[in-house]
């Protein structure tokens, strides 16, 4: 099965997909990570009393939540509403997302037997994803949908640590001290993430983004040896589907070149690294980013001035997709984000 939407002229000519391919654009395309998140009153209302994973497994809710920022901001792409650990939940891993904490795993992975006990993901595990994506494609029209998955290292860290971690000590202990278990776990997660992205693309997603939230905890040598081959497998699988691939990590200034070499068409850059510094590192690739998310709390003229600097810096790249340098902060004023969207889309190319 192929990704039908990318064959439709109205989608292929969208500013977002043109930029992702490094082609000329009518305006700099813009979307926001966590754009459907906790800053929207309509999101808070629809999520009231509904758990995160529960909402991610309800096709009607996923469609509505994904569409909310597209309606409000008229952004150039929608990001599929999901969570990094959802595929694990779908195959039967005992975990939950606790408010104020994040994903918590009941029985952290420690042994090869623990890894073997995790099933591979098939489309039959996630029929609600297929239903949601198909519904979204019908609603979005000429606005592309970006598929979403967690990268192997970040997902592995949740499984090994049992929850969020700042130091990733247990994760690195396994990586260095039990390389056989680590390799098996990374292979398992890479297969799950690749299958999860494939389901989304075959249902109609026009691009994919692989989130490696915690990769910045690694040195380049450790990333190259223990992580990059597995992320590369996920990105290679997505590449076979013919859709642009975005690779994003947090605090990854020292890894940007490697993250591109792993198979990305577009490298996301967080706010800590100026685009002017990042572009030479990623080579002949499109960049995405990277306004500091806190600048939406500044006066509008300050915010737009800094956004203009980001756009100007992006001209040196093969292509540029505007985004924040990380997710939208929950207390962000939606009206300010709307002003930012309009500024970026009206900025001379």
Cα atoms in the 13 Å half-sphere on the side-chain side of 293: 18
Distance CA 112, CA 175 (A): 13
Catalytic position from the list 43, 73, 83, 198:
83
What is the phi-psi region of residue 22: left when phi exceeds 0, alpha when psi lies from -120 to 50, beta otherwise?
left
Kindly name the residue from 43, 73, 158, 196 that is annotated as catalytic.
158
Decide if 172 contacts 153 (C-beta within 8 A): no
81, 120, 83, 85: which is closest to 104 by C-alpha? Answer: 85
Question: Does 290 sit behind a cis peptide bond, omega within 30 degrees of 0 on the bond before it?
Answer: yes
Is 38 considered catalytic here? yes
Residue 285: active-site member? no
Q: Are 103 and 60 in contact (CB under 8 A)?
A: no
∠ CA 244-239-142 to the nearest 5 degrees?
35
CA dihedral 324, 87, 138, 8 (to 10 degrees): 70
Candidate list 34, 198, 233, 285, residue with the active-site label: 34
- Provide the residue count of the chain: 349
Strand partners, 30: 322
**Contact, 27 vs 347, CB < 8 A?**
yes
C-beta atoms surrounding 347 within 10 Å: 17
Which of the 8 DSSP states describes residue 81? -
Catalytic residue (one of 8, 21, 38, 224): 38
CB atoms near residue 74 (< 10 Å): 13
Spacing of C-alpha 281 from chain mean position: 20
Cα-to-chain-centroid distance, residue 293: 16
Tokens, residue 39:
């800053």
12 is catalytic: no
Query: Is 158 among the residues known to form the active site?
Result: yes
Partners of 267 in beta bridges? 247, 287
Instruction: Tokens 């924040």: give the residue.
Output: 324
8, 12, 18, 47: which is the annotated catalytic residue?
Answer: 47
Catalytic residues: 34, 38, 47, 83, 158
């Amino acid at each position: 099965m192929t990704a039908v939407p990318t064959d439709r002229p109205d989608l292929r000519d969208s500013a977002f997909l043109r930029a992702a391919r490094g082609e000329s654009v009518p305006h700099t395309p813009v979307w926001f990570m966590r754009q459907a998140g906790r800053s929207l009153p309509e999101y808070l209302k629809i999520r009231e009393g509904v758990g995160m994973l529960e909402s991610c497994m309800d096709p009607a809710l996923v469609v509505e939540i994904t569409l909310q920022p597209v309606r409000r901001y008229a952004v150039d792409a929608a990001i599929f509403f999901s969570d990094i650990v959802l595929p694990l939940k779908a195959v039967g891993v005992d975990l939950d997302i606790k408010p104020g904490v994040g994903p918590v795993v009941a029985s952290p992975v420690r042994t090869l037997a623990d890894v073997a006990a995790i099933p591979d993901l098939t489309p039959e595990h996630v029929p609600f994803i297929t239903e949601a994506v198909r519904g979204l494609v019908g609603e979005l029209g000429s606005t592309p949908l970006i598929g979403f998955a967690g990268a192997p290292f970040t997902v592995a860290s949740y499984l090994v640590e049992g929850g969020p971690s700042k130091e990733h000590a247990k994760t690195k202990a396994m990586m260095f001290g039990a390389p056989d278990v680590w390799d098996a776990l990374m292979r398992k997660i890479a297969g799950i993430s690749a299958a999860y992205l494939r389901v989304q693309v075959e249902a109609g997603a026009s691009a994919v983004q692989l989130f490696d939230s915690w990769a910045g905890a690694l040195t380049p040598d450790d990333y190259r040896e223990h992580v990059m081959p597995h992320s590369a497998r996920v990105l290679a699988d997505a590449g076979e589907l013919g859709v642009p691939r975005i690779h994003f990590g947090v605090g990854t200034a020292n890894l940007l070149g490697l993250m591109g070499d792993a198979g990305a068409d577009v490298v996301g850059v967080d706010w800590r690294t100026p685009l002017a510094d990042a572009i030479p590192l990623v080579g002949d690739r499109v960049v995405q980013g990277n306004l500091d998310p806190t600048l939406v709390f500044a006066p509008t003229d300050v915010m737009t001035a800094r956004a203009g600097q980001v756009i100007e810096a992006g001209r040196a790249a093969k292509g540029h997709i505007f985004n924040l340098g990380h997710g939208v902060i929950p207390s962000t004023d939606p009206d300010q984000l709307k002003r930012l969207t309009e500024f970026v889309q009206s900025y001379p190319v």
